[in-house]
Amino acid sequence: MKVLLLGSNGQLGWELQRTRPDNITLTTSDFPKINFCNTGSINQCINSTRPDCIINAAAYTAVDKAEQEKDLAYRINHKAVLEIAELCRKNTISLIHISTDFIFNGRNFKPYQPDDTPDPESVYGKSKLKGEQAVRKILDDQALIIRTAWLYSAHGNNFVKTMLKLMKEKQNLSIIDERHMALPKPYGQLLKKT
């Protein structure tokens, strides 16, 4: 199967490349480098690659900065995703699209389920939700949307790396402590067995 990986230089994209199964032919969007702000670049990348499946791990991920760069966040997280979904529909390409827990407001007292009502509060969350909605509307069952949270990788910046750096610099740290992660049932059961 020929898979085109978008965002191959990001945390997730990097790890997906590193852990690629042998039966997958992975093409990255590095050559020619895709620009999500440019419709022509998106068309060119997908039309020249002609994959069976696209994994979209690319996104505008600067959560705080997005409040000032609203147009850019929406261009990358919504409009570009819509354009990619349209190309997938036209060329019968499956799409795996990565989304985020930021599409929820975080005030639930129990773990979120896929059908819970989204209510994003930040520009980042709102732009990612618009991207999800475009994928669903255009591709329906031809797409899989994965909402992940708190990614960590040796490549790129993340919470763990920030903490390691701050722990070297400071005596005391103030860190949020109201985030809880729950594993979906099958994974919870699986972990108990192993």
Catalytic residue list = 124
The candidate with the shortest Cα–Cα distance to 73, out of 104, 32, 43, 36, is 36
**Token output for 153:** 């990788």
Beta-sheet strands, E only, within 16-92: 25-28, 53-56
Phi, psi of 62 (to 5 degrees): -80, 90
Cis peptide before 32 (omega within 30 of 0): yes
Q: Which residues bind ligand NAP (CB under 6 A)?
A: 7, 9-13, 34-37, 57-61, 76, 98, 100, 128, 148-151, 156
Closest CB to ligand NAP among 118 and 156?
156
Long-range (24+ apart) CB contacts under 8 A made by 45-51 are: 45/4, 45/6, 46/4, 46/84, 46/87, 46/88, 46/91, 46/93, 47/87, 47/91, 49/2, 49/4, 50/2, 50/91, 51/2, 51/3, 51/4, 51/27, 51/93
Closest contact distance (angstroms) between CB of 188 and ligand NAP is: 20
Closest contact distance (angstroms) between CB of 158 and ligand NAP is: 6
Closest CB to ligand NAP among 11 and 46?
11
Closest CB to ligand NAP among 10 and 120?
10
Closest contact distance (angstroms) between CB of 171 and ligand NAP is: 27
Closest CB to ligand NAP among 82 and 151?
151
Closest contact distance (angstroms) between CB of 12 and ligand NAP is: 4
Residue nearest to ligand NAP (CB): 10
**Which one-letter amino acid corresponds to residue 66?**
A
DSSP state of 54: E
